[in-house]
Amino acid sequence: MAFNVIKTIGRYEIYDELGRGAMAIVYRAFDPKIKRMLAIKVLRPEFAENPAYRERFLSEARAAGTLTHPGIVTVFDVGEVDEQPFMAMELLEGATLEQFVRTKRHIPGRMILKIAIQLVDALDYAHRNGVVHRDIKPENIVCISDVGQVKIMDFGIAQIKSGSTWSAPDNTVVAGTPRYMSPEQVTGKLVDGRSDLYSLGVILFWLLSGTPPYSATTMAELFKKVVHVNPARLRPVINDVPEALVDVVHSLLKKLPEERYQSGAELLEDLRHIELDMAEHERSWGHRRIIPIRLRWSAFMGVIVAVTVLIGLSAVYQRQRDVVTGLAYDYGATLGRIVAAETAEDLLLEDQAALRTLVKDMQRNHEMLFLSIRDYNGKLLVSTLPPEAVNAAPAVPVAARGEQKIYRQKNRDGEETLRFESPVFYQQRRIGQVDLGVSGETVNSASRTTMTAMLALLVVITSMVSLAAYLMSRRLSAPIEVLRRGMGKIAQGRFDTRIRMRRRDEFERVFAAYNVMAESLEARPHADHGEAPAQPDEEVDAQAEEADAAPPVAHSSRTQPTIEIADSLDIDKSPGRSAGKDSAIAASSSLERDVG
């Protein structure tokens, strides 16, 4: 059917057509009196002639016109020109919820919860003012910002408690969109605000799981499931969804209205509690898991330096111990040779008195633990200790100096002793042996002193390096904290936040990138003037190019059918203007197509 080109409706100047549904057409218009762009919605001519449809159109105007809420599209004016009723409404820039989800692919649980809270708040306001929407679905919800700010539109089949309400010519037909209709809507019973809450439950089920609660190949099968079959347990496709929110969705999908939430206010209270719990969980998770970079870097550098220095000091310590031990061996061996030379003549003469005098004189050396002299046959001639004391523990050979042998053994007190066996020669002929014991604790004491000094040096070096790493990382953590706070403000929608800190390192570039991002976000119209997300869907782009205009996302040809007076409508199959990139959204007729 061809339509006449409309240039004005009353005082409003028509610019272009935004889109059309089964019953109405929406135009982009300009109000010259107040210099404002808005959307004008009019009935299609074939329906404007029917009093029932004019009444239905006026019911939508009355329903939306009585509501003033940030989550509901605003109606500015209602009138009639040349027997053509019209409605002047707020012009929204954005995408429908269905398109928003398709563009974003994955929406965080916090954003879904934020959307739900806004919708419930708006519906509760409408219900308290006596208006039941009866057609809550993603196509009738507009996302006016990229952070999930939404508005409800299209009160085309709304029910008003006071005043006249529209009814279909065929009373056997029910109104609504099949997939989102409540059981009482399907069965034609009286509906109230709890029916809208059921439809909201279907939307939340879809947002969280990616699929609707019911799927069917025929309308009859779908209606049967809506009325009689409980949905499967919701399995969220995102990770940050609390179980309490899943329980809320299933409560909304109860078959009997009295088993659901009885009001939007009751539901809103639970959703806000869930939001607080999610925020608290995120804060506690962050505090439990985070390891400050200044501690991590300090510990890492400390461990690296400690291991490196420890390896070096271990090598130095071992070398130093070997040197000290070698000096002790040389000292004992030299002392043994001296004693052997001194005793050679007395041993040859078997002068035991002279030997005892020599041994007694040698005892004045406090480092000498024992001294014994034997003859050529190994007979003990003189000794400072009894034989059982000298041989209290087995001797372990450790070194040799020529014909001298060096042993390690423990004395009766458990102290380490270096034992030197030195042969006694007279004119190149062996005539006996001198056994000399020297304390080994001197070597151990020197090793312990060296070890203590090295460990102290290790602690000092490690502490200094760790402290330097801590101070350096602390300087790095300061700009990181500035960036974190800035990102937190961006998350709160404060796009006017800028980082003023100046640095002469890589953080300068990071801060510059942050400021550019904030300026870009601030430049995007938000609140009531959000830019529609780009639509990657090829079909949408193709239809937009074919129509050569920006169509209304609220009335894409892919919206769910609205069931209403199906036998009385002749559906127009002419190509409409479906939503696309940067499309304007206006509240228009909820009837996309009618299913009998």
Residue spans of the domains in the chain: they are: 8-289+532-568+577-586, 300-447, 493-528
Residues 6+ apart with CB under 8 A from 114: 148, 275
Instruction: Check pLDDT > 70 for residue 467.
Output: yes
Instruction: Check pLDDT > 80 for residue 562.
Output: no
**Nearest one of 265, 135, 151, 142 to 202, comparing CA atoms:** 135
Interval 487-492 mean pLDDT: 78
Instruction: Check pLDDT > 60 for residue 549.
Output: no
pLDDT for 348 equals: 84
Distances in whole angstroms, Cα of residue 164 to Cα of each of 17, 52, 100, 248, 369: 30, 12, 36, 34, 122
Contact of 193 with 201, CB cutoff 8 Å: no
Give me the DSSP letters along 444-507: HHHHHHHHHHHHHHHHHHHHHHHHHHHHHHHHHHHHHHHHHHHHHHHHTT-TT-------SSHH
Q: What is the pTM of this model?
A: 0.53
Instruction: Check pLDDT > 50 for residue 590.
Output: no
**Nearest one of 136, 108, 55, 43 to 241, comparing CA atoms:** 108
Residue-wise pLDDT for 44-97, tens only, equals 888 888 888 887 787 777 777 888 899 998 888 888 888 788 889 888 888 889
pLDDT for 183 equals: 95
Instruction: Check pLDDT > 60 for residue 513.
Output: yes
Distances in whole angstroms, Cα of residue 399 to Cα of each of 164, 330, 405, 422, 514: 118, 11, 6, 13, 73
Instruction: Check pLDDT > 70 for residue 571.
Output: no
Which one has a higher pLDDT value, 564 or 39?
39
Instruction: Check pLDDT > 80 for residue 134.
Output: yes
Interval 129-139 mean pLDDT: 89
Residue-wise pLDDT for 203-230, tens only, equals 999 999 999 999 899 999 999 999 999 9
Backbone angles phi, psi at 39, to 5 degrees: -115, 135
pLDDT band at 22 (very low <50, low <70, confident <90, very high): low
Instruction: Check pLDDT > 90 for residue 37.
Output: yes
**Cα distance between residue 384 and residue 43, in whole Å:** 129
The correct answer on CATH 3.40.50.10330 for the domain covering 300-447 is no
Weakest mean pLDDT among 11-25, 198-212, 270-284, 517-531: 517-531
The whole-chain average pLDDT of the chain stands at 79
Interval 7-23 mean pLDDT: 85
Q: For residue 399, how far is the Cα from the chain centroid?
A: 66
pLDDT for 579 equals: 37
pLDDT for 252 equals: 95
pLDDT for 238 equals: 84
Weakest mean pLDDT among 352-356, 451-455, 542-546: 542-546
Contact of 106 with 160, CB cutoff 8 Å: no
pLDDT for 442 equals: 79
Interval 409-430 mean pLDDT: 86
Instruction: Check pLDDT > 70 for residue 146.
Output: yes
CATH superfamily, domain at 8-289+532-568+577-586: Transferase(Phosphotransferase) domain 1 (1.10.510.10)
How does DSSP classify residue 561?
A: P
Dihedral angle, C-alpha 160, 161, 166, 170, nearest 10 °? 130
**Nearest one of 430, 434, 438 to 408, comparing CA atoms:** 438
pLDDT band at 284 (very low <50, low <70, confident <90, very high): low
pLDDT for 558 equals: 38
pLDDT band at 285 (very low <50, low <70, confident <90, very high): low
Give me Rg for the CA atoms of the chain.
Answer: 48
**Cα distance between residue 8 and residue 15, in whole Å:** 9
Contact of 174 with 188, CB cutoff 8 Å: yes
